[in-house]
C-alpha cells in the first residue's frame, strides 16, 4: 500500500496551487528590471518554443546586455528592486514567478509521488516486449514482477532487453509512444501495486472533478 | 425560357468578372446588378415576357457600360486581378481548344505527382492549301484549376518541376518541340528533396542546352516559379497577363516594411504593381519577352474561342520562327521575316507553308547558339558602361588573350597529353613484348653473374611547408569588428553552455567562431578576400560596372547612392582573379552589405563576364556567396532574367571543361540559389549559414504553415542533399584548395 495521505496532499495543493520559480542572476552585471510585482509574464511560445518568453530583466556585463526571459507563464511575485540599476553578484535571487499549476500538472506531480516511475536509461527508441504488447492490445492490465523483461531499448539497430527492477505492480501509465525516441532520464513507465491502483484512480478522479483549472 | 436562363447566367458571370477585376464587388453598384440578375434568375417565370426582356436589356446595357469603363484604363494591379480571376482560361482550356488531341502524362487530375504541373503529349494542326498538317509537341505547364484546392493555385512543388524536367528530356529524346504554359504565382516554397530552389536550378541548367525548339507562353509569370519552365527560344505573353519578380503584395510588404500579420495598404500595392513594370507592354519594352498575344479588351476567359484560335496560330508561328532561324535556306528566312511584319493583324485561316519541326545535327547547334545569344543579350541595353576609347584595341587584346590561353592550356596541353599517352601505351606494350624474349636471357645472366642487390637510394622529401594552408605567412587581416571592448553571448549559450566571448578574441584569434559550440558569427566579406587568397594575388576586374535603376523605381536611386557611399562599392558583385597556394582561380563574390547581396542586371552581367573569363583563361571558377537576398525586386523582370542568363553562362563554362564551385555563407535565398548557384555540381556551405528558396515569413504567408527555426540551416540542407559539405571558416582556405585539387585533379585547368 502506498503511504500517501491523499487528503493532505490535495489540501496542500489547494491551499497553494502555485509553483514558485526563483530566478537567479546567471552571472555578475548591472541589472535592469523590465517587470514589476503583479505583472503577468509568458513563457516561451511557438511550436518549437522558438519565441522567447517575456523579458524579466537585462544584465549588462562588459558591454554585453543579456536579456533574461521567463521560462514559464505566471505572475511576478517578487522583484528585488533595491538592486535595480546596480551591480549584482552571480547566483542572486532577483525575481520570483508564481506559476499557477494546471489540473494536468497537479495530476502529474501527484502521480510522480504515488507511482514508481521507471526512467529511460539512455536516449533511444523504446518498445514493450511482444508479450506485453499483446496484453496491451487486449486492453488488459500489465503486471510486472522484478526480473521480468518488459522493455526493448533499440539503438543503432541494437536491441537490448530491459529487466524490471522495481516493486511488483501494475503498469498504470506509459509515458512514451512505442517507437519514439525518448531522451535519457525521461519517464517511461509509471507502476503502482495492484492494491494501490484504486487509490491512484481515486486521486485522479478527485482532482478531475474537484479542481478548477 | 432556357435561353433567358442562359443569358442571365452569362450576364451574372460578366458582372462577377468585373468585380474580380476591380477587386471590389460593390464597384459602381455592381453588387446591386448582381443581386438583380440573381432575383431574375430565381423568378423569371413569374415576370411577363415583355417586362423580362426589357429588364434584361436594361441590365445588359448597364453591364456593357461598366465593361467599357473598365476597359478604358486597366491598371497593372487590375491585370493581376484578371489573371487571378477564376473566370480566366487555364492550361486545361488550352489543351482542349488549341490542340487537336492530347494525352496527359504523369497523372490526371488529383491523382497526380503534382496536380499544379500538367504534362501532355499533344497534336497541333495547321491548314495549308486546304490540307491539314499535324505536329507532335510536348506541352508542359501550370494548371491553376477552376477553384480546385488540390491544384494549389498553379504553385509547382519541387517534384512537379522534376516531373516537368523528366518530360523535357523525353521530348529531347523524341526530337519534338516543347510548348510551355506559365500560369504560376510562384513556386511552392518547400525545402524537401529535391528542394524548390535546387530543382528550379536543375531545370534551368537542363533547359539551356535542350536540343529541341521551345516556345513559352506566359499568362501569370511569378518569378522563379515561372523560370522553371520559362526558359525558351521564343517567349510569348498574354496581353493581359503579368510577369514579375515578386507579387505586388510581397513587394509592398518589403517597400513599406510592413510587419508580419499587418495589413498592407492598397495604395502601396497599386504603386508597387506600377513600379515593377509587370505588364506585357512593359516586358516587351524591356526585352524579356518576344511577342504579345492579344486578348479581348477585358482579357480572355474560358469560352473565348477566338482567343484560342489566335493562340494556336501564335504558338505554331513562334515554333516555325524558332525552327526557321536554324535553317540555312534563305527562302525560309524570308518567310519568317514576312510573318514578322504581319504582327497584330487578324489570324489567317491558312498558313502559307508547312515547316518541318525536326532538326538535324547542325540545326540543333544553331538553335543552341541562338538561345545562348538571346539570353546573354537580355538586359544588356540597360547596362551603363562607358565605351572604350579604342574599341579595336580592346577587341585585339581579347582575341590575343583568348589565343594565348587556347595555345597554353588547350592546344599544347592537349597535344602534350596525347603524346604522353601514346608514349606510355607504346612503352608498356613494347615492354610486355620484349619481356618474353629477354626474361630467359636475363635469368641465366643473373644466375651466372650474381651481384649483391643495390640499396635503393631513399630520397628525402622536404615536408616543411613553404606556405601554410591554414594561415597566411604574412600578417593576418583582422576584422574591424574586433576593435570593441565588450563581450557577446553565443546564440547557442543556453543549449551548449557557451561562455561569453570577449569581442577582440572572438573576431581576432577565434575568427568569429565560438570555441565551445562552433557557431560562426557573421564576418564582413573583406575578411575572406584577405584571408582566403594568396597575398597580393587578388586583382579585381569589371570594377567599372555599377548598379543602376533601369526601371526608374521611385526612390531607389537614393538608396543605391546611400549603399554605394556606405560600402564604397558600386554593385553587390565583386569579380576578381586570385590565387590559392599558387593555383589561379576566377572568383565571383556576392556581398551582403550592398543591397543585401541582391542580383540585378549589373551583378548578372559581372557574373557572366567572370564566367567567360574563367572559360577563356581555362581556370577554375569559384562563386562565394557572402549573402544574397535573391533577385533585386527594383529591377523587375530584368532581374528575373538574370537567372536563365547566368545559368546559361555557367552551363557553357562547365560544358567546355571548367570546374565550378559554389560556397554559401550567412544567408542565401531565392532566385540566385534557384539558378546559377544551385546548378553547380559542387556546393558547400560555411557553418551556421542558411540556404533556401523562401524565408520563414514568406513560407508562413504563402503556404500557411510554420517552419522550425533551423529549417534552412546548412546542416538540414546537407541532409536534404542540396549541398555537398559544410566547411569551418578557419579551414576554408585548406578545404577550398583540397576541393580544387580533388575535383580538378590534374585536369584542374580544363578537362
Domain boundaries, chain B: 2-73, 84-377, 523-747
Cell reading at A145: 514482477
Check for a shared fold between A18-100 and A104-210.
Answer: yes
The residue-averaged pLDDT of B473-477 equals: 62
State which residue of chain A sits closest to B502, comparing Cα positions.
A62
10-residue mean pLDDT series, chain A (213 residues): 68 86 96 97 93 96 94 96 96 95 83 84 91 89 90 87 89 88 89 80 80 67
The shortest CB-CB distance from B487 to any of A46, A50, A63 is to A63
DSSP state of B179: E
User: Residue B473: is its pLDDT beyond 60?
Assistant: no
Does residue A61 sit at the B interface (CB-CB below 8 Å)?
A: yes
Most distant CA atoms of chain A, gap in Å: 64
Confidence of residue B346 (pLDDT cuts 50, 70, 90): confident
Q: How many CB pairs under 8 A join A and B?
A: 25
Domain B523-747 superfamily per CATH: 2-enoyl-CoA Hydratase; Chain A, domain 1 (3.90.226.10)
| Sign of the alpha-carbon torsion through A125, A131, A133, A136 | negative
Q: Give pLDDT tens digits for B69-128.
A: 999 999 999 999 999 999 999 999 999 999 999 999 988 889 999 999 999 999 999 999
Q: Tell me the helices (H) and strands (E) count for chain B, helix number first.
A: 26, 20
**Long-range contacts (CB closer than 8 Å, 24 or more residues apart) made by B189-192:** B189/B692, B189/B693, B189/B694, B189/B698, B189/B699, B189/B702, B189/B703, B190/B157, B190/B158, B190/B693, B190/B699, B190/B703, B191/B692, B191/B693, B191/B711, B191/B712, B191/B716, B191/B717, B191/B720, B191/B722, B192/B158, B192/B720
To probe the interface with B, which of A45, A49, A50 has the most B CB atoms within 10 Å?
A: A50
* Topology of domain B84-377, CATH: 2-enoyl-CoA Hydratase; Chain A, domain 1 (3.90.226)
User: CB A63 to CB B486 under 8 A?
Assistant: yes
The HSE-up count of residue B174 (CA atoms within 13 Å, CB side) is 14
The shortest CB-CB distance from A48 to any of B485, B489, B708 is to B708
CB B623 within 8 A of CB B604: no
User: CB B485 to CB A46 under 8 A?
Assistant: no
CA of B305: how far to CAs of B98, B181, B239, B300, B601, in Å?
A: 9, 18, 16, 9, 39
CB B580 within 8 A of CB B640: no
User: Residue B309: is its pLDDT beyond 50?
Assistant: yes
The shortest CB-CB distance from B486 to any of A46, A48, A62 is to A62
Confidence of residue B4 (pLDDT cuts 50, 70, 90): confident
Does residue A49 sit at the B interface (CB-CB below 8 Å)?
A: no
Spatial separation of the C-alpha atoms in residues A70 and A62, rounded to whole Å: 23
Q: Give pLDDT tens digits for A172-205.
A: 888 898 888 898 888 899 898 877 777 778 878 8
CB B65 within 8 A of CB B59: no
Q: Under DSSP, is residue B456 helix (H, G, I), strand (E, B) or coil?
A: coil
Spatial separation of the C-alpha atoms in residues A122 and B350, rounded to whole Å: 78
Confidence of residue B465 (pLDDT cuts 50, 70, 90): very low
Q: What angle do CA A10, A14, A16 make, to 5 degrees?
A: 120
Residue with cell 527508441: A125
- Residue B384 is predicted with a pLDDT of 76
Cell reading at B283: 516586358
The shortest CB-CB distance from A64 to any of B489, B708, B709 is to B489
Which positions 148-177 of A are in contact with B (Cβ < 8 Å)?
none
Mean pLDDT estimate for chain B: 89
Return phi, psi of residue B496, to 5°. Answer: -110, 0
Which positions 100-129 of A are in contact with B (Cβ < 8 Å)?
none
Of the listed ranges B308-322, B392-406, B427-441, B598-612, the least confidently predicted one is B427-441
Confidence of residue B268 (pLDDT cuts 50, 70, 90): very high
Does residue A46 sit at the B interface (CB-CB below 8 Å)?
A: yes
Higher pLDDT, B365 or B744: B365
User: Residue B226: is its pLDDT beyond 90?
Assistant: yes
Q: Among B558, B554, B552, B543, which Cα is nearest to B638's?
A: B552
Does residue A50 sit at the B interface (CB-CB below 8 Å)?
A: yes
CB B181 within 8 A of CB B144: no
User: Residue B171: is its pLDDT beyond 70?
Assistant: yes
Confidence of residue B173 (pLDDT cuts 50, 70, 90): very high
The shortest CB-CB distance from A47 to any of B484, B489, B706 is to B706
Q: Among B539, B537, B542, which Cα is nearest to B612's?
A: B542
User: CB A61 to CB B488 under 8 A?
Assistant: no
Does residue A71 sit at the B interface (CB-CB below 8 Å)?
A: no
* Topology of domain A104-210, CATH: OB fold (Dihydrolipoamide Acetyltransferase, E2P) (2.40.50)
CB B277 within 8 A of CB B283: yes
Burial, B94: exposed, middle or buried (Cβ in 10 Å; 0-12, 13-18, 19+)? buried
**High-pLDDT (> 70) share of chain A, %:** 97
DSSP track, B619-672: --EEEEES-B-SB-GGGHHHHHTHHHHHHHHHHHHHHTT--EEEEE-SEEESTT
The residue-averaged pLDDT of B547-576 equals: 95
The residue-averaged pLDDT of B694-717 equals: 92
Chain B residues in contact with A70 by the CB 8 A cut-off are none
User: CB A61 to CB B500 under 8 A?
Assistant: yes
- Residue B410 is predicted with a pLDDT of 66
Q: Give pLDDT tens digits for B728-744.
A: 999 999 999 999 998 88
Task: Determine how many CB atoms are found less than 10 A away from the CB of residue B262.
Answer: 10
The shortest CB-CB distance from A62 to any of B487, B708, B709 is to B487
Helices (H), B378-520: 391-405, 412-448, 493-496, 503-507
Q: Give pLDDT tens digits for B402-438.
A: 787 777 766 666 666 676 777 777 777 777 777 777 7
User: Residue B461: is its pLDDT beyond 50?
Assistant: no
Confidence of residue B357 (pLDDT cuts 50, 70, 90): very high
Chain B residues in contact with A27 by the CB 8 A cut-off are 500
The shortest CB-CB distance from A48 to any of B487, B489, B709 is to B709
Q: Among B598, B603, B550, which Cα is nearest to B287's?
A: B550
Domain boundaries, chain A: 18-100, 104-210
Confidence of residue B467 (pLDDT cuts 50, 70, 90): low
Residue with cell 541582391: B598
How close is the nearest chain A Cα to the Cα of B523, in Å?
A: 19
Q: What angle do CA B186, B192, B194 make, to 5 degrees?
A: 80
Q: Give pLDDT tens digits for B313-336.
A: 999 999 999 999 998 766 566 666
How close is the nearest chain B Cα to the Cα of A183, in Å?
A: 15
Does residue A51 sit at the B interface (CB-CB below 8 Å)?
A: no
CA of B137: how far to CAs of A128, B168, B170, B237, B384, in Å?
A: 59, 11, 11, 19, 41
CB B221 within 8 A of CB B191: no
Mean pLDDT estimate for chain A: 88
Q: Give pLDDT tens digits for B674-691.
A: 999 999 999 999 999 999
How close is the nearest chain B Cα to the Cα of A129, in Å?
A: 33
- Residue A110 is predicted with a pLDDT of 79
The shortest CB-CB distance from B489 to any of A46, A50, A66 is to A66
State which residue of chain B sits closest to A60, comparing Cα positions.
B487
- Residue B411 is predicted with a pLDDT of 66
**High-pLDDT (> 90) share of chain B, %:** 70
Higher pLDDT, B188 or B223: B188
How close is the nearest chain A Cα to the Cα of B194, in Å?
A: 25
Return phi, psi of residue B574, to 5°. Answer: -115, 130
Q: Give pLDDT tens digits for B28-67.
A: 889 999 999 999 888 878 888 888 889 999 999 999 999 9
Q: Give pLDDT tens digits for B376-392.
A: 999 998 887 766 666 77
Return phi, psi of residue B617, to 5°. Answer: -85, 0
CB B199 within 8 A of CB B161: yes
Q: What is the 3-state secondary structure (H, E, C) of A87-140?
A: EECCCCEEEEEEEECCHHHHHHHHHHHHCEEEECCCCEEEEECHHHHHHHHCCC
| Distance in Å from the first CA to the final CA of chain B | 77
Burial, B521: exposed, middle or buried (Cβ in 10 Å; 0-12, 13-18, 19+)? buried
Q: Which residues of B touch A (CB under 8 A)?
A: 484-489, 500, 502, 706, 708-709
Chain A residues in contact with B708 by the CB 8 A cut-off are 47-48, 50
- Residue B85 is predicted with a pLDDT of 93
DSSP state of B347: P
Q: Does domain A18-100 have CATH number 2.40.50.100?
A: yes
User: CB A62 to CB B706 under 8 A?
Assistant: no
Parallel/antiparallel/unpaired status of strands B214-222 and B178-184 = parallel
Amino acid at each position: 500500500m502506498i503511504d500517501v495521505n491523499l487528503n493532505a496532499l490535495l489540501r496542500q495543493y489547494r491551499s497553494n496551487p502555485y509553483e514558485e520559480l526563483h530566478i537567479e542572476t546567471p552571472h555578475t552585471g548591472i541589472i535592469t528590471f523590465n517587470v514589476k510585482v503583479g505583472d503577468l509574464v509568458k513563457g516561451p511560445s511557438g511550436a518549437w518554443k522558438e519565441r522567447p518568453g517575456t523579458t524579466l530583466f537585462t544584465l549588462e556585463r562588459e558591454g554585453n546586455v543579456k536579456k533574461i526571459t521567463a521560462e514559464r507563464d505566471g505572475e511576478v511575485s517578487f522583484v528585488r528592486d533595491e538592486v535595480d540599476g546596480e551591480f549584482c553578484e552571480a547566483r542572486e535571487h532577483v525575481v520570483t514567478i508564481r506559476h499557477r499549476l494546471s489540473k494536468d500538472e497537479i495530476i502529474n506531480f501527484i502521480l510522480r509521488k504515488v507511482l514508481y516511475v521507471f526512467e529511460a536509461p539512455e536516449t533511444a527508441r523504446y518498445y514493450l516486449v511482444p508479450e506485453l504488447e499483446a496484453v496491451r492490445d487486449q486492453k488488459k492490465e500489465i503486471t510486472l514482477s522484478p526480473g521480468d523483461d518488459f522493455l526493448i531499448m533499440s539503438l543503432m539497430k541494437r536491441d537490448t532487453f530491459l529487466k524490471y527492477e522495481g516493486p511488483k505492480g501494475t503498469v498504470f501509465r506509459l509515458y512514451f509512444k512505442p517507437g519514439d525516441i525518448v531522451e535519457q532520464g525521461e519517464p517511461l513507465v509509471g507502476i503502482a501495486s495492484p492494491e494501490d491502483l484504486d487509490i491512484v484512480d481515486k486521486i485522479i478522479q478527485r482532482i478531475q472533478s474537484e479542481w478548477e483549472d | 425560357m432556357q435561353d433567358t436562363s442562359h443569358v442571365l447566367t452569362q450576364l451574372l458571370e460578366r458582372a462577377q468578372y468585373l468585380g474580380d477585376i476591380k477587386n471590389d464587388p460593390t464597384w459602381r453598384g455592381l453588387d446591386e446588378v448582381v443581386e438583380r440578375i440573381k432575383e431574375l434568375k430565381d423568378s423569371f417565370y413569374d415576370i411577363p415576357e415583355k417586362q423580362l426582356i426589357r429588364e434584361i436589356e436594361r441590365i445588359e446595357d448597364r453591364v456593357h457600360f461598366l465593361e467599357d469603363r473598365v476597359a478604358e484604363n486597366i491598371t497593372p494591379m487590375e491585370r493581376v486581378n484578371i489573371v487571378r480571376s477564376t473566370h480566366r482560361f487555364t492550361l486545361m482550356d488550352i489543351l482542349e481548344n488549341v490542340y487537336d488531341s492530347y494525352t496527359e502524362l504523369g497523372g490526371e487530375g488529383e491523382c497526380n505527382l503534382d496536380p499544379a504541373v500538367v504534362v501532355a503529349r499533344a497534336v497541333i494542326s495547321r491548314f495549308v492549301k486546304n490540307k491539314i498538317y499535324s505536329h507532335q509537341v510536348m506541352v508542359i505547364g501550370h494548371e491553376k484549376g477552376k477553384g480546385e484546392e488540390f491544384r494549389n493555385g498553379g504553385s509547382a512543388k519541387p517534384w512537379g518541376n522534376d516531373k516537368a524536367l523528366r518530360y523535357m528530356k523525353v521530348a529531347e529524346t523524341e526530337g519534338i518541340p516543347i510548348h510551355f504554359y506559365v500560369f504560376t504565382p510562384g513556386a511552392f516554397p518547400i525545402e524537401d528533396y529535391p528542394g524548390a530552389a535546387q530543382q528550379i536550378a536543375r531545370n534551368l541548367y537542363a533547359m539551356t542546352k535542350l536540343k529541341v525548339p521551345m516556345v513559352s507562353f506566359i499568362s501569370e509569370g511569378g518569378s522563379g516559379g515561372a523560370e522553371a519552365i520559362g526558359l525558351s527560344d521564343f517567349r510569348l505573353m498574354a496581353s493581359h497577363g503579368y510577369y514579375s519578380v515578386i507579387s505586388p503584395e510581397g513587394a509592398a510588404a518589403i517597400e513599406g516594411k510592413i510587419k508580419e500579420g499587418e495589413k498592407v495598404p492598397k495604395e502601396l500595392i497599386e504603386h508597387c504593381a506600377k513600379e515593377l513594370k509587370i505588364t506585357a507592354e512593359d516586358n516587351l519594352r524591356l526585352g524579356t519577352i518576344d511577342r504579345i498575344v492579344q486578348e479581348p479588351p477585358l482579357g480572355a476567359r474560358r469560352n473565348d474561342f477566338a482567343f484560342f484560335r489566335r493562340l494556336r496560330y501564335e504558338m505554331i508561328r513562334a515554333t516555325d520562327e524558332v525552327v526557321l532561324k536554324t535553317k540555312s535556306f534563305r527562302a525560309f528566312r524570308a518567310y519568317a521575316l514576312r510573318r514578322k511584319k504581319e504582327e497584330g493583324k487578324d489570324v489567317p485561316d491558312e498558313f502559307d507553308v508547312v515547316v518541318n519541326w525536326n532538326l538535324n545535327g547542325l540545326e540543333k547547334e544553331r538553335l543552341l547558339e541562338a538561345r545562348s545569344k538571346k539570353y546573354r543579350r537580355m538586359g544588356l541595353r540597360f547596362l551603363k558602361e562607358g565605351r572604350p576609347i579604342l574599341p579595336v584595341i580592346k577587341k585585339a587584346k581579347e582575341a590575343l588573350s583568348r589565343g594565348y590561353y587556347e595555345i597554353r592550356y588547350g592546344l599544347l596541353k592537349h597535344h602534350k597529353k596525347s603524346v604522353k599517352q601514346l608514349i606510355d601505351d607504346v612503352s608498356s606494350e613494347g615492354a610486355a613484348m620484349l619481356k618474353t624474349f629477354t626474361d630467359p636471357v636475363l635469368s641465366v645472366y643473373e644466375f651466372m653473374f650474381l651481384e649483391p642487390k643495390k640499396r635503393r637510394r631513399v630520397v628525402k622529401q622536404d615536408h616543411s611547408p613553404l606556405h601554410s594552408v591554414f594561415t597566411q605567412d604574412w600578417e593576418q587581416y583582422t576584422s574591424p569588428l574586433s576593435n570593441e571592448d565588450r563581450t557577446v553571448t553565443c546564440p547557442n549559450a543556453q543549449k551548449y553552455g557557451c561562455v561569453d566571448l570577449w569581442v577582440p578574441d572572438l573576431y581576432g584569434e577565434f575568427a568569429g567562431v565560438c570555441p565551445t559550440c562552433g557557431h560562426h558569427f557573421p564576418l564582413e566579406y573583406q575578411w575572406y578576400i584577405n584571408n582566403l587568397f594568396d597575398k597580393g594575388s587578388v586583382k579585381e576586374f569589371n570594377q567599372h560596372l555599377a548598379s543602376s535603376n533601369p526601371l526608374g523605381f521611385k526612390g531607389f536611386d537614393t538608396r543605391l547612392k546611400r549603399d554605394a557611399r556606405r560600402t564604397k562599392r558600386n554593385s553587390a558583385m565583386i569579380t576578381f582573379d586570385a590565387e590559392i597556394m599558387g593555383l589561379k582561380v576566377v572568383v565571383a563574390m556576392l556581398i551582403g552589405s550592398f543591397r543585401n547581396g541582391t542580383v540585378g542586371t549589373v551583378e548578372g552581367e559581372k557574373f557572366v563576364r567572370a564566367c567567360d573569363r574563367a572559360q577563356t583563361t581555362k581556370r577554375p571558377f569559384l562563386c562565394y556567396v557572402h549573402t544574397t537576398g535573391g533577385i533585386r525586386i527594383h529591377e523587375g523582370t530584368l532581374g528575373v532574367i538574370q537567372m536563365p542568363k547566368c545559368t546559361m553562362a555557367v552551363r557553357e563554362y562547365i560544358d567546355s571543361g571548367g570546374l565550378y564551385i559554389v560556397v554559401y555563407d550567412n544567408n542565401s535565398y531565392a532566385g540566385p540559389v534557384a539558378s546559377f548557384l544551385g546548378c553547380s555540381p559542387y556546393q558547400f556551405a560555411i557553418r551556421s549559414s542558411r540556404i533556401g528558396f523562401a524565408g520563414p515569413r514568406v513560407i508562413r504567408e504563402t503556404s500557411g504553415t510554420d517552419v522550425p527555426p533551423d529549417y534552412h540551416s546548412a546542416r538540414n540542407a546537407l541532409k536534404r542533399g542540396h549541398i555537398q559539405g559544410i566547411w569551418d571558416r578557419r579551414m576554408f582556405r585548406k578545404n577550398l584548395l583540397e576541393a580544387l585539387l580533388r575535383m580538378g585533379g590534374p585536369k584542374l585547368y580544363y578537362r
